[in-house]
Structure 1
Amino acid sequence: MAKVFTITEGLENMGALKTGGQGSVYKARRTGEIITAVKLLPTPIYSESEQDKNFISFQNEVKKLKKVNEEPNPNVVKILNYGVTDSGSFPFIEMEFIEGPDLEELLKAPNEPLFTIKETLRLAEHLSHALAHCHKVDVKHGDIKSNNVKYNRHTGNYVLLDFGLAVMSDEQRRTSLRHAGAIEFMAPEQSEGQLLFQTDVYGFGVILFELLAGQVPFPLKDGSESARNMVMLAHLETTPPDLKELRRQNLPDAWSADKKEKELQVPEWLLSLIYRCLRKKPEERFANGNELYNFIVSSSVGVQRAEILSDHNPWQYQAEKLLKEKQQLQQQLAQKDAELQRLRSQPVLEGPERIPGQDDYQGNRKKNTAWIVAFLVTLLVASGLAYALIASSKEEKKPQQKAETPVTAIQPPRQTSPMGVYRVTAAKTYFHNKPEPSTRRNAFLSKGDPITALDEQAGFVYTEFTNSRGQTSKGWLRLDNLQTQDEWDAQKLQEQNRPPTQEEVRTQLTMATGYLRTNQLEEALTIYNFLTPFDVPEALYQAGNLALQAKNGTINCTEGLRMVNRASDLGYLPAKRTLGVLHLFAENPAWLQINGYNQCVYNKDIGKARQLLTQAANGGDTTARQLLDELNLSNPPE
């Protein structure tokens, strides 16, 4: 094997590119002007012999890794060399140097904080193609994250980098990920050091979620160990938040209203794919990169063709659309004629036994058929016109001035004094410039938004609504999409008097988790406080735990502790873990203050702490297991 690093003869060290838990990447220059990237792994190899298990493991994994380049792939970085450094005896992998930004850089200012749907689909196809190529030769990447995917500015391709984890042993991988891995992108099984094809699929899902939502599903608040544990627990236990809602919140202000409306139309198949990638159990995700890639290609091919035609050849796109509509109408006409032939073959009854509606049908048949034929002829003429325009545009292209769309002024109210307060009951209710359906605009309000009505005309009410960003929309809303505040309150009270279904509980908890992730505590607590009377364990725990951290002003310390204990009695593992930790660190004011529990008083009880942590660990709580191991080392059980 080649030896590098100092870096060695024929390979010049040009400085570090990045450093992480899986090693460091250096920019290097081979003899001449060939620039490469060198990945140094953190575990030294002291002997290149069969007696050194690290060397044998590294050599075996590199043999598999070399298979990746046996068949070139434009979306996978080329691996050029591997070996052990002259100084320090660190194993290394030498790869081609990709000129261009990584995804993490593309999501930072001055760039936009999220991708367009079109560019996300392009990235999804490139990255899944890379995973399919690697998995086909039995190579698992293990570290799929934003800064391991680069945009090659010379080829326009997205490229998968850094196979450092792929050549580590299970123990090395487990240690590396626990202390320095990108916790926001780690699959649940990685907490135990497992590396599966589905592990890469999970990281793929996190990347797509980040590109569309503007943030990862479970963001890391800071670099502390407790924050990392909370993110890892979220990967293990918490349902990912609402991607479309996060996207709506994070759309760039610089985008026009039309573009925002278009960019909120994320394809349902793409949302389904992302949430399937993020499932907790590996067997419920896509089995490997090949299955993932095939699903993306088959789902997006129709969408991409429509976009290509509409962007580059709108006349052809319109002509194909008209031709398709013509074919559909021809099929409908054939069905209609077949039905008429069937009716003609039946005997027409006379006298008192006349079939009701028979004469009416015979009288209108010619009119209906004539209407369809006329419409069909119109479509055929439109199709011919479209194709003629295509042909003429190829011969001569003349610049045309786009006609301005007339803007209809908003009809003001007859009065400006409030008439009443309403709530939106529809999923979306659109603003209109006049109390007429034909004047609808793109701006809309969502279900539950409160408005003050200033005028009412023709089934519409006029309002002026200011959102949380200080933006004001004025116009007319359909009255049948609204409900008075009194009616809204009465309906909510009626709903509160019945116990929620399991599906409603899951939906509410998912919403509350999303609110917590965006620091909307008041909204989250509204949900938790509503669910606590129904003995929902997660709601009891969250409401009580937030009270212990002085973030739930409606509950005191005693009630908060009672609720967390109740959640623990119901078998909720995070409650057992939290209580165990509080019993363990009850007399450690520094720990209590750092973690926000210094507003209440707790009883130190090592035995109780060990019991609760053991229950949580036996239930699969990996953080509780780590704490229990540390506790048993410092305070061995008698």
Structure 2
Amino acid sequence: MTRNIEPANLRVGSRVGKYRLDRRIGRGGFADVYAATDTLLSIKVALKIPNARWVSPELIDEFRREVKMTMALDHPNIMPIRDASFIDGHLVIVTPLAKRTLDDRMKKRMSFDTAYSLATQLVDAVACAHAAGVIHCDIKPENVLIFDDDQLRLADFGIAKAAQRTISSSGTGTLGFMAPEQAMGKPSMRSDVFSIGLVLYRMFSGKWPEYPFDWPPPGAATLRRRLHPDLIAIIRKSLEVKPRSRYANAEKLAEEWNKSRLKAVRFANRQRRQT
């Protein structure tokens, strides 16, 4: 087994070009992520730096294609890529620096208003991507970043896809967040819908649905207390095991989700008054 060894010149406090590495905020099999300072502009950024052993000509070609698609997605809830280039021999992907991930945020209780706002932003982000013909393939709380004023941005479009193809040469995505067909190497927009359904269920119930995804999963009683039946029906449809029983894409999901807004808010307000 090959170990992920941090190169000697990638240490907290050192520099990569104009960027000073302030702290490491994430580590995975493919890349490390650092909070850094752009010393020329005096702004904070995040740097994703793939491990050198994965940086092959094939990865670079795949990555270029994916990044071009990502950079064409202009949406307030999609993480922009500020730069993607070789610096001091390292492939460096530069993005804005978030306050926390959705995974971190979900470890603390969320009000309905906060959860509903974040959920809506996530759905809208993926809907924008699907409208442009882009499938994310790795929607999970760690790839959902939260900024000031609870602005959400979905990250790792294309980066995750290129990384997974390079490492596994099989289905893309993260086990546990994937639709069944995606785990067999057949991802589609319906697979992204399934992953959204998993995240939404966790946000509102506090529990993760698990395979074989029989309904109702653990936490369904909490879901019924917090959500209008229309929203529950939307989440349930998103989590259908058979792809064709789900929404065809996140655009269809967003249409139904946003159509239910008034009912959802009124139901939540009524529930608050009764407690």
Cα distance change on mapping 1:169 and 1:246 into 2, 3 Å: closer
RMSD: 3.3
Instruction: Please give the per-residue CA displacement for 1:245-268, whole angstroms capped at 9, x wherever unaligned.
Output: 6254xx6xxxxxxxxxx9715222
Structure 2 counterpart of 1:53, from 15, 33, 58: 58
> Higher relative contact order by CA 8 Å / sep ≥ 6: 1 or 2?
2
Residue 175 of structure 1: how far off its partner (Å): 5.7
Quick one: which amino acid aligns to residue 22 of structure 2? M
Cα distance change on mapping 1:283 and 1:23 into 2, 3 Å: farther
Quick one: which amino acid aligns to residue 189 of structure 2? F
Residue 190 of structure 1: how far off its partner (Å): 2.6
Quick one: which amino acid aligns to residue 54 of structure 2? P
How does the TM-score come out when normalised to structure 1? 0.37
Specify every segment of 5 or more residues in structure 1 that has no aligned partner in the other structure, as ranges: 47-51, 219-233, 252-261, 315-441, 444-638
Match of 1:264, SS?
A: helix
Match of 2:149, SS?
A: coil
Q: Which residue in 1 is equivalent to 2:54? A: 44
Match of 2:72, SS?
A: helix
Match of 1:155, SS?
A: helix
Q: Could you say which structure has the higher helix fraction?
A: 1
Q: Does 1:33 align with 2:38?
A: no
Q: Which residue in 2 is equivalent to 1:95? A: 95
Q: Which residue in 2 is equivalent to 1:281? A: 242
Residue 296 of structure 1: how far off its partner (Å): 0.7
Cα distance change on mapping 1:9 and 1:279 into 2, 3 Å: same
Contact residue 71 and residue 80 of structure 2 kept, 8 A = no
Mapped to 2, the partners of 1:201 and 1:22 lie a distance apart of 25
Contact residue 27 and residue 38 of structure 1 kept, 8 A = yes
Q: Does 1:193 align with 2:185?
A: yes
Mapped to 1, the partners of 2:251 and 2:193 lie a distance apart of 10
Cα distance change on mapping 1:176 and 1:308 into 2, 3 Å: closer
Task: Compare CA radii of gyration and give the structure with the larger one.
Answer: 1
How does the TM-score come out when normalised to structure 2? 0.80
Q: Does 1:294 align with 2:255?
A: yes
Instruction: Please give the per-residue CA displacement for 1:315-337, whole angstroms capped at 9, x wherever unaligned.
Output: xxxxxxxxxxxxxxxxxxxxxxx
Mapped to 2, the partners of 1:190 and 1:309 lie a distance apart of 38
Q: Which residue in 2 is equivalent to 1:127? A: 122
Mapped to 2, the partners of 1:281 and 1:75 lie a distance apart of 28
Cα distance change on mapping 1:132 and 1:263 into 2, 3 Å: same
Q: Does 1:143 align with 2:163?
A: no
Quick one: which amino acid aligns to residue 93 of structure 2? I
Contact residue 22 and residue 176 of structure 1 kept, 8 A = no
Cα distance change on mapping 1:64 and 1:308 into 2, 3 Å: same
Cα distance change on mapping 1:194 and 1:16 into 2, 3 Å: farther
Quick one: which amino acid aligns to residue 276 of structure 1? K
Mapped to 2, the partners of 1:22 and 1:185 lie a distance apart of 18
Cα distance change on mapping 1:199 and 1:107 into 2, 3 Å: same
Structure 2 counterpart of 1:160, from 144, 154, 157: 154
Q: Which residue in 2 is equivalent to 1:246? A: 219
Contact residue 54 and residue 167 of structure 2 kept, 8 A = no
Residue 205 of structure 1: how far off its partner (Å): 0.5
Instruction: Please give the per-residue CA displacement for 1:390-449, whole angstroms capped at 9, x wherever unaligned.
Output: xxxxxxxxxxxxxxxxxxxxxxxxxxxxxxxxxxxxxxxxxxxxxxxxxxxx99xxxxxx
Residue 295 of structure 1: how far off its partner (Å): 1.3
Instruction: Please give the per-residue CA displacement for 1:498-522, whole angstroms capped at 9, x wherever unaligned.
Output: xxxxxxxxxxxxxxxxxxxxxxxxx
Mapped to 2, the partners of 1:241 and 1:284 lie a distance apart of 14
Q: Which residue in 2 is equivalent to 1:355? A: none
Quick one: which amino acid aligns to residue 155 of structure 1? D
More off after superposition, 270-279 vs 184-193:
184-193
Number of equivalenced pairs: 260
Mapped to 2, the partners of 1:280 and 1:307 lie a distance apart of 28
- 1:128-527 alignment runs, 5 A limit: 128-152=123-147, 154-163=148-157, 164-168=159-163, 170=165, 172=167, 174=169, 182-218=174-210, 234=211, 238-243=212-217, 246-248=219-221, 264=225, 266-304=227-265, 306=266
Contact residue 118 and residue 150 of structure 2 kept, 8 A = no
Mapped to 2, the partners of 1:156 and 1:191 lie a distance apart of 32
Mapped to 2, the partners of 1:158 and 1:53 lie a distance apart of 32
Quick one: which amino acid aligns to residue 279 of structure 1? E
Contact residue 164 and residue 170 of structure 2 kept, 8 A = no
Specify every segment of 5 or more residues in structure 2 that has no aligned partner in the other structure, as ranges: 1-9
Cα distance change on mapping 1:36 and 1:7 into 2, 3 Å: same
Quick one: which amino acid aligns to residue 104 of structure 1? D
Cα distance change on mapping 1:309 and 1:19 into 2, 3 Å: closer
Contact residue 66 and residue 79 of structure 1 kept, 8 A = yes
Contact residue 170 and residue 193 of structure 1 kept, 8 A = no
Mapped to 1, the partners of 2:199 and 2:128 lie a distance apart of 18
Cα distance change on mapping 1:283 and 1:93 into 2, 3 Å: farther
Contact residue 122 and residue 153 of structure 2 kept, 8 A = yes
Residue 78 of structure 1: how far off its partner (Å): 1.8
Q: Which residue in 2 is equivalent to 1:80? A: 82
Cα distance change on mapping 1:217 and 1:303 into 2, 3 Å: closer
Cα distance change on mapping 1:35 and 1:310 into 2, 3 Å: same
Residue 206 of structure 1: how far off its partner (Å): 0.5
Match of 2:237, SS?
A: helix
Quick one: which amino acid aligns to residue 85 of structure 2? G
Contact residue 128 and residue 292 of structure 1 kept, 8 A = yes
Mapped to 1, the partners of 2:106 and 2:65 lie a distance apart of 37
Residue 212 of structure 1: how far off its partner (Å): 2.1
Identity of aligned residues (%): 23
Residue 84 of structure 1: how far off its partner (Å): 3.1
